Amino acid sequence: MANHFVQDLRAIARGLSDDPAEWPYIPCPTCKRSGLTVVADSLVMEEASQSKAWHGREDWDPEFIYGAFRCVMRCYKETCDLVWVTGRTSVYQQNMRDGYQDLLHPLFFMPELPLIQSYGDCPEKIQWAIEAASPILWVDPSSAANRIRAAVEVLMDHEKIPKNDARGRVIPLHQRIEQFKRDKPEFSNVSDLLMAVKWTGNAGSHGDVIRVPDVLDVVEIIDRTIQELYDTSAVKIEQKAEEIVARKGLPASQIAQLRVPPA
């Protein structure tokens, strides 16, 4: 199943207008089925004191302006949790005609936004390990990439790929993925995808600059991986089709009645 959340998160990563009516679709963390809207009058923006002080400088330019914002968002379903959002603001000039506009960059969503729309039959411990990247995605993308790398270790554990060698030493993730590829050659494409997740996570640990869109690339890759490994919906649909053909289209209830021996 396509993960539309990643596209929504990419739109958020490009920055939000100061007019909430222009915000992209922001998925509800509670029901994962609806989009959030900003609670009326809850959006507050404040220029930073340092930014205000800079106005007096000779070389001042409107693009020096920065500050913070907060707002509250809600789903149309009343039972869903309110979502509290905070972040920073900047100013940019889209074109000469429109002048300067505020741009809002969320740093925290509380509760955090979901990364993957549907996990199918993916084991919960792998789901939790992936979603652990969400709370820090916006404020620390490098650490978020590292958490998704850690989720690959959890996936290897689940697939019973040894984490220690005969002498008790920790086996590097790279070698574990290679072992997975040897053990399950039918999933060799999955191994290649997991290796890409590992490299991005490594880059995050080594201080390389990882941006939110880079992490979202990795989320898409691990999403594809778990769909390949654990999404049995396509198999289930094929099984249903085979059953319907076997019954020649008759409803299962009628088949059950036909099997009852005549009195």
* 30, 51, 90, 117: which one binds Zn ion (CB under 5 A): 30
25 binds Zn ion (CB under 5 A): no
What distance separates the 2 farthest-apart alpha carbons in the chain? 101
* 12, 65, 80, 173: which one binds Zn ion (CB under 5 A): 80
Report which residue type is found at 189.
N
Q: Least distance from C-beta 33 to Zn ion, angstroms?
A: 6
75 binds Zn ion (CB under 5 A): yes
155 binds Zn ion (CB under 5 A): no
Looking at beta carbons only, is 26 or 197 nearer to Zn ion?
A: 26
* 2, 7, 19, 31: which one binds Zn ion (CB under 5 A): 31
* 34, 42, 51, 118: which one binds Zn ion (CB under 5 A): 34
> Of 172-211, which residues contact Zn ion (CB under 5 A)?
none
143 binds Zn ion (CB under 5 A): no
117 binds Zn ion (CB under 5 A): no
> Of 35-74, which residues contact Zn ion (CB under 5 A)?
none
77 binds Zn ion (CB under 5 A): yes
Q: Least distance from C-beta 14 to Zn ion, angstroms?
A: 23
- Tell the residue number behind the tokens 């009852």, with chain if given: 260
- Residues in contact with Zn ion by the rule CB under 5 A: 28, 30-31, 34, 75, 77, 80
